Amino acid sequence: MNLFLNGRTYSCLVCPKSSPSCTEQHHPLQRLISYDELLAKYARKVNRDQYDPIGIYTCPYCALDRLTVDALYEHSRDSHPPARVEHVPAVHCPVCVCFRLEKSPALLGPPYTTGSLSEHMLSRHCFASTHQYRDELKLRSDFCCDGEYELIRFMATFLPPAIISSDVVARYGNDDDRLLSTAKQMPPTVLCPICLEHIDAASGKSLALCAHQFHGQCIDRWLEEKKCCPVCRCDCS
C-alpha cells in the first residue's frame, strides 16, 4: 500500500499490499527510489574511487531509517533478536519494497520465527560465496549498458562479502567438509541482469549469439525497444 507524502512515494512495511490504506499512522514507511534519484544521489563523485554508502532503508520493526543493506541486516539481527521480541507484526522486506522486486514474499514473520527479516535477507539478498558476489559485481561494472545504475542497484540490494564470509558460513556450521558438501548440493544462483531476480529453469531464456541468460519476459520486453543484449550489447536485430 503506497502513500504520497511531500512529493515522495512511500510504502507501509506492515500493512498488506492489497490494503487500501494504512491501518496505523505509526507504521514504519519505506521510500520507493526512482532510477533518476538513485543515480543523482549515489553515482560516484568526480575524483572519488568509492561510492558513498547507500543508506535508503527503514527498519520495519522500529522505523530506524537511512540504513544500508548490510546495516539493515545487522540491525535486524542484533537489535530485534528472537529472544527479545514478542508480539510484533509480520512485515515486508524494505529492500524488496524499495526496488519493487518481483516474487518478493507478501509478509515476513516476526523475528522469533524462521521467516524473519534477517533470515530472508540471508536467503534472498545474499550470495553463497564471496567469489560469486564479486563475479556478479564485475559483470555489472564492466558490461551492463546502464552500467552505473545497475551497479548501484546491485550494491544496494545484496549483502557485501563481509556478511557472506561470516554469517553465511555460520549458518551452515564451521565444519569445512560440511560447508563444502552443502555448497556442492546447492544449485548455482543465476540472476536476471535486468530485474536482479533469480532465474529458474522454467522462466529462463538465453540469447543465441552471446548465451547470456534472462527471464523470458524481461528480455522480450527489452528487445521490443533495444535490439541488443543488455549485458554485452551484442546485436540481436
pLDDT of residue 182: 40
Give the confidence band of 175 by pLDDT, cuts at 50, 70, 90: very low
55: pLDDT strictly greater than 90: yes
Contact indicator for 224, 129 with CB cutoff of 8 Å = no
Quick one: average pLDDT of 4-10? 83
In this structure, which amino acid lies at residue 121?
A: M
* Average confidence score pLDDT of the chain: 78
Widest pairwise Cα distance in the chain: 58
pLDDT of residue 83: 54
SS (H, E, C) 203-229: CEEECCCCCCEEEHHHHHHHHHHCCEC
pLDDT of residue 103: 64
pLDDT > 90: what percent of the chain? 17
H/E element holding 31? strand 29-31
Which residues have C-beta within 8 Å of that of residue 74, sequence separation ≥ 6?
163
How many helices and strands, by DSSP H and E, does the chain display?
10, 5
pLDDT of residue 81: 73
pTM for the full predicted model: 0.71
For residue 48 the three cell numbers come to 572519488
For residue 176 the three cell numbers come to 569445512
Measured CA to CA, the distance from residue 117 to residue 93 in angstroms comes to 6
Please, what are the domains in the chain? 2-124 (no CATH), 190-237 (3.30.40.10)
Measured CA to CA, the distance from residue 232 to residue 145 in angstroms comes to 7
pLDDT of residue 94: 95
Give the confidence band of 145 by pLDDT, cuts at 50, 70, 90: low
